[in-house]
Amino acid sequence: MSDGRRAPDDEILAIHLQWFAPEDEGKTEEPTEYRLKKEREEGRVPKSPDLVAAIGLLLASVALAIIGPWIFYNLREMLRWFLEASIEIDPTTEAGPIAARFFSYFAKLILPIASVSMIAGVFGNVLQSGFLFTTKPLKPDFKKVVPKFGQYFKRTLLSGEALFNLAKSIFKIVVIGVVAFLNIRGELPRLTRLFSSTVWNSSVYLAGIVIRIVIEAAILMLALAIPDYIFQRAQFKKRLRMTKQEVKEERKMFEGDPMVKGRLKDRMRDIMSRNMAVNVPKADVVVTNPTHFAIAVEFDPMTMAVPTVTAKGADEMAFRIRSLAKDAGVPIVENRPLARALYAEADVGDAIPEAYYEAISKILAHVAKIDRRVAAKYAAMGR
């Protein structure tokens, strides 16, 4: 009976423990290129929001410093126009001109800085992840409707990423506070005399201090954003780590089932054995190890740009190739390094690798001197 009462609590406890189960348990393998490419197609790429914000703040503040006088001039003109209009124009009957003038001033004051900020945001994102346009992140994902509270709290409160973000936020506050303190302390004697200055001059002077503080803080934030970007890339790859089984399944998807590949290889070996009796007699030369490897090479200037491997084998198959070559009168040349290299780097039907052109040409030239059949083939091509 007591077990019956405790069952619901046990189930709730089990659910709560699942919330706090580690997401990356067993994920020890680095993400593959395919996994990274798939994540990029989904719009998930490593990036630092702080880097985008720092670039945007820096460029916008520099633009504000450059066009600040022009903005102040337009602000003064706007204020003057609306004060005059408040006396001369009845807003109940002439709302159109007032609205048009308002939007005109609004565009002059806002659009330059807004345009610079938008360009800076795009530049900051392209700088981190390259040009990427996808609408997939905008699609609703109903799997995210039910939150994983444990994983969320673990990531935001109890992880290395949470500690890094906390330290970063504290550092930002300290940096901005120190920059503001140093700038204000340096200007304090002049600030105390502003009561004797005009409103316009005081406003321009204070705006200059603010812009300087913002630019210096933005430069320091940009310096902080670089290690943050490196950290975010490391965290991104860590979240994409795969289990050994996932890597195995992905490799199987691209390379095929090893059992199937083994059967195909056996099948190809059977086909090669049957074709060997046809290909070896047509070869110009057989390069041997002399006992372990044998590679049949053919060069037909009419159909081939470079010499081609028509048969190859090791041990018993090499013995059979040599036997077929002797029966057909195909020259057999012993060259241990070349035979070993061709066996390792060229398959049946492949052209001779460029690194071995010189060695093969010398062998074929030697064969042409001792084999009338080969000499006649090259003579037909004017060799």
CA-to-CA distance for 64 and 67, rounded, in angstroms? 5
Beta-bridge partners for 312 = 295
Beta-bridge partners for 293 = 314
Whether the link from the prior residue into 22 is cis, omega within 30° of 0, is no
| Domain spanning 280-380: CATH superfamily | secretion proteins EscU (3.40.1690.10)
Beta-bridge partners for 308 = 298, 351
**Predicted pLDDT of residue 2:** 45
**Predicted pLDDT of residue 69:** 83
The CA-to-CA distance between both ends of the chain, in Å, stands at 101
CA-to-CA distance for 263 and 267, rounded, in angstroms? 6
DSSP E strand boundaries for 277-326: 285-288, 293-298, 308-314
CA-to-CA distance for 241 and 222, rounded, in angstroms? 29
**Predicted pLDDT of residue 263:** 72
The candidate with the shortest Cα–Cα distance to 273, out of 233, 241, 306, 321, is 321
Domain with CATH 3.40.1690.10 in the chain: 280-380
For 148, the token pair is: 């994983």
**Helices marked H in 144-243:** 149-157, 160-191, 199-239
Helix (H) / strand (E) containing 332: strand 332-334
For 345, the token pair is: 């780097």
376 Cβ partners below 8 Å, 6+ apart? none
CA-to-CA distance for 283 and 21, rounded, in angstroms? 65
Longest dimension (CA), the chain: 117
Question: pTM of the prediction?
Answer: 0.48
pLDDT, tens digit only, all 383 positions of the chain:
444 444 444 444 444 444 444 555 566 777 777 777 777 777 677 778 888 888 888 888 888 888 888 888 888 888 888 888 877 777 667 777 788 888 888 888 888 888 888 888 888 888 777 776 666 656 666 565 555 555 555 566 666 677 877 888 888 888 889 989 998 888 888 888 887 788 778 888 888 888 888 888 888 888 888 888 888 888 778 877 777 777 777 776 666 556 666 676 667 666 666 677 788 888 888 999 877 899 999 887 777 778 888 888 888 888 888 888 888 888 888 888 888 988 888 888 888 888 888 888 888 888 878 777 666 666 555 44
The candidate with the shortest Cα–Cα distance to 269, out of 323, 199, 320, is 320
184 Cβ partners below 8 Å, 6+ apart? 191, 209
Complete edge-to-edge strand list for the sheet that includes strand 308-314: 308-314, 293-298, 285-288, 332-334
Cα distances from 56 to residues 70, 183, 228, in angstroms, run 21, 22, 16
